[in-house]
């Protein structure tokens, strides 16, 4: 079995897990993102290095910044393959309803809990807007801009 790319890159740099966690923290602070405490993150890192878990999009971005490589160089391809069908009006309804649920959750739970979810949904909506017919493009972009 080939060695995990996160583990391989860490070893190539002769970094301990602690050094990688420090680099992740530095990248997160530059984005004004608070990471979990170091002991929790160390467990998570072990899971990534042992291929028990796959990093979320945010962590793939932070890992790429920490290692100063692209996500592709870390072995992460596009998590969203190109759509095989055209986008319909259901996409606008879906996104509107999801974002409507996020507003009260943001007030009650805080934006940190939702930022990754909303970011991913926004990126997907932008992809849909590129694929959508002209009549759907504007409604999709309105939802995204909210």
**Average pLDDT of each block of 10 consecutive residues along the chain (146 residues)?**
76 95 94 88 91 87 92 74 62 81 79 78 78 77 76
Residues 94 and 137 in one domain: yes
**Do 93 and 55 reside in the same domain of the chain?**
no
Range of the domain at 39: 5-67
What is the pLDDT, as a whole number, of residue 121?
79
Domains held by the chain: number: 2
High-pLDDT (> 90) share of the chain, % = 27
113 assigned to some structural domain:
yes
DSSP assignment of 59-123 equals HHHHHHHHHTS-TTTTT---SSPPPSS---HHHHHHHHHHHHHHHHHHHHH-HHHHHHHHHHHHH
């Amino acid at each position: 079995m080939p060695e995990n790319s996160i583990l391989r890159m860490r070893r190539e740099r002769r970094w301990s897990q602690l050094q990688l966690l420090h680099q992740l923290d530095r990248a997160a602070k530059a984005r004004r993102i608070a990471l979990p405490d170091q002991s929790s993150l160390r467990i998570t890192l072990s899971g990534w290095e042992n291929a028990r878990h796959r990093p979320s999009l945010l962590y793939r971005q932070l890992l790429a910044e920490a290692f100063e490589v692209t996500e592709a160089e870390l072995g992460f391809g596009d998590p969203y393959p190109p759509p095989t069908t055209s986008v319909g009006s259901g996409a606008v309804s879906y996104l509107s309803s999801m974002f409507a649920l996020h507003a009260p959750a943001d007030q009650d739970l805080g934006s940190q809990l939702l930022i990754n979810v909303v970011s991913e949904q926004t990126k997907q909506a932008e992809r849909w807007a590129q694929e959508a017919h002209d009549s759907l493009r504007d409604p999709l972009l309105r939802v995204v801009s909210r």
